[in-house]
Structure 1
């Protein structure tokens, strides 16, 4: 008999700051960042099947079925556990691709969490995180389940408490391939590492996104959105772009700014989350 989990959220993240501190011999960049979960999300439905087939039942523009991180995550869990179960998976995309919000990584993490529960494969959270790292550097964070200070390539995580902020997020209308930003010869890779013992909210307020200078040069629309939103507070790009955000203490403040965003941009508000909505699944 099929087991189901419907309307499973795959929340977005914001990088409250992002510093590139070096580069490994294998080409991966070493980072320090503060990951913030927000209540804007994709939504996924899971219906188990007993024939081992993994089927994404909804189309995703520009993403082939077998290359989708959702499908790859499900198949990886099968391989790691020897499960003979399969699943029909429907996804409702709400987060833009190439936006720096971690949508694809979050979808993969939600898939691992949901199917580990539905298939009763019994993997621990740390085991799921190790699997997730094979899919992408941001996936372990979404499996970690809490806001985090991250190091390494993003997989070394320590829980942090962040303010209960509201965020205005602008989508500048461009999709930025992460590889293009990290491959740029103009990317600085020598930010001085922050010591976790000294970490505080000050690094969030006074930090920066080292990828932003490259992204704004390659994609002027991002620079324009940052300049506009920066009139209302500290505006910053998240991840490798393209979305930009600004934090506010109250919903009313955020709503007022949202109402004045130029109509050429898609924009929305989101509230900070303390933990992943599926963190209870085991």
Structure 2
């Protein structure tokens, strides 16, 4: 992974926007406003998009490359930059180049992570002087997962995703499979058959690896809609070390399984059927950009 390699008063290049995995995802209830209450552990991994930023004096904010399926004006990266610009009443702008590697609609938080990195990088370049909590509050306007990436550590997450406690997770590697389907998040959350009453757990249950059924409550709905997700999970289950380690992340469609070493992960990844895209990733304990932007 590359940390920013060129830091000046006007430029930041190769800024990482890491993916996340939900090591579990339980839906524990539903608020009157329709938002779902959840519990999850969000795990940062070293698979990243990268972004380049060049300050402009004329106030214009542009994405200088094309991303298939993502018009510039609706890109979370552009929306994040404009939100920060308006909030801080900044006259500067930016040219942004997004090097996309993470799958869209995969449940790994790619768009949210891109937005978070944009807020952190431009807060630094534009000298907005917002602290981490202020940037997180701004990020929440863009999406529930954005504050996590600004928080910058693995977290036990509750509420609608806004309550986070830092947590130390095992040093491990993951095999991730992209089943090749796109899962619209609203479709999953609105499904009548979605389990919404999983018994709440405590952060200590996860830390102590107590006998709790760590699952993804969204998985059954997604698999019913897209059998290819179920096929990928079932394939990974043949190689899992602990029962039910293989599962879907977020609202899908990516599925993953944990392994104790890079060698073990590579051995399984080499066997993944070629009709699926797959990759391995290492667990991170903190966001790789935090120290670079003094947040």
Into which bin does the TM-score normalised by the smaller protein fall? over 0.9
Deviates more, 1:254-263 or 1:189-198: 189-198
1:71 counterpart residue number: 78
* 2:87 alignment counterpart: 80
Structure 1: give runs of 5+ residues left out of the alignment: none
Q: What do residues 117-157 of structure 1 show as CA deviations (whole Å, max 9, x unaligned)?
A: 00000000000000111100000000000000001111110
In 1, Cα distance between equivalents of 2:206 and 2:22: 15
2:262 corresponds to which residue? 251
Aligned to 1:223: 230
* 2:63–2:78 contact (8 Å) kept in structure 1: yes
- 2:158 aligns with 151
8 A contact 1:2–1:47 mirrored in 2 = no
SS state at 1:62 partner? coil
What does 1:1-282 correspond to in 2, within 5 Å?
Answer: 3-202=10-209, 206-233=213-240, 234-280=245-291, 281-282=293-294
- Please state how far the C-alpha of 1:204 moved relative to its aligned partner: 9.7
Which whole-Å CA distance do the structure 2 matches of 1:18 and 1:186 have between them?
A: 16
What is the TM-score normalised by the length of structure 2?
Answer: 0.93
1:169 aligns to what SS in structure 2?
Answer: strand
| Cα distance in 1 for residues equivalent to 2:178 and 2:211 | 21
1:46-101 CA-partner distances (Å, limit 9, x unpaired): 00001111101111111111111000000110111111110000001100101000
Structure 2 contact 205–212 (Cα < 8 Å) conserved? no
CA RMSD of aligned residues (A): 1.4
Structure 1 residue 196, shift from structure 2 partner: 3.0
Residue 206 (structure 1) shift: 3.8
* C-alpha separation in 1, matches of 2:227 and 2:184: 15
Residues 258 and 74 from structure 1, CA distance in 2 versus in 1: closer, same or farther, beyond 3 angstroms? same
Q: CA deviation at 1:23?
A: 1.1
TM-score (norm 1): 0.97
- d(CA) in 2 for partners of 1:88, 1:205: 47
